Amino acid sequence: MQTLQDNELFQTGYLVDGLWKTLDNTFDVLNPATGETIAAVAKAGKKETEEAIAAAAKAFPTWRVKTAKERSAILYRWYELIIEHKSWLGRLMTTEQGKPLKEAEGEWRYAASFIQWFAEQAKRANGEIIPPIKTRIADLCHP
């Protein structure tokens, strides 16, 4: 039987600027049923957070010019990937949380449904801004 660690989805680093990076500073993720260490994962801190923020700022101009249809396709592909891998993701969640497998898989389907909804909404990006009810809220709309 394939272990969780044998899957290419199993990553213990952190993803920034499209690359998986590792850290010497890690923390153990334990199986609550056995106490066994599942993995030692990167413990990102302020430096890594700032790195991720900078990478997001660098990527934003490219995302900003994508059409609503292109954005929708990206989000829909994300939805498809979650559905395609829901069994593995469910096993991972069960192993790290102790949640029943069917419930864990259902949670992934539920999470994926939100991404699917946003993928559909992305097609309808029409630039409408709904004014806030409270006047103390500032709204800056991008893209």
Residues 74 and 55 in one domain: no
Statement: residue 132 has pLDDT above 80? no
Instruction: Give how many domains the chain has, as a whole number.
Output: 2
pTM attached to this predicted model: 0.80
Q: Which domain holds residue 40?
A: 1-65
Give residue 26's pLDDT. 96
Give residue 7's pLDDT. 81
pLDDT tens by residue, 3-24: 777 788 889 999 999 999 999 9
Note whether residue 140 is domain-resident. Answer: no
Give residue 137's pLDDT. 64
Residues 108 and 86 in one domain: yes
Let me know how many helices (H) and strands (E) the chain has, helices first: 4, 4
Strands (E), 3-137: 14-16, 19-21, 26-30, 37-42
Note whether residue 52 is domain-resident. Answer: yes
Measured between alpha carbons, how far is 69 from 124 in angstroms, rounded to an integer? Answer: 9
Residues 22 and 59 in one domain: yes
- Looking at every residue in the chain, the average pLDDT score rounds to 89
The count of residues in the chain is 143
pLDDT tens by residue, 41-89: 999 999 999 999 999 999 999 999 999 899 999 999 999 999 999 999 9
Give residue 40's pLDDT. 94
Contacts by residues 133-138 (CB-CB < 8 Å, ≥ 24 positions apart):
none
Residues 56 and 19 in one domain: yes
Measured between alpha carbons, how far is 119 from 112 in angstroms, rounded to an integer? Answer: 10
Residues 49 and 4 in one domain: yes
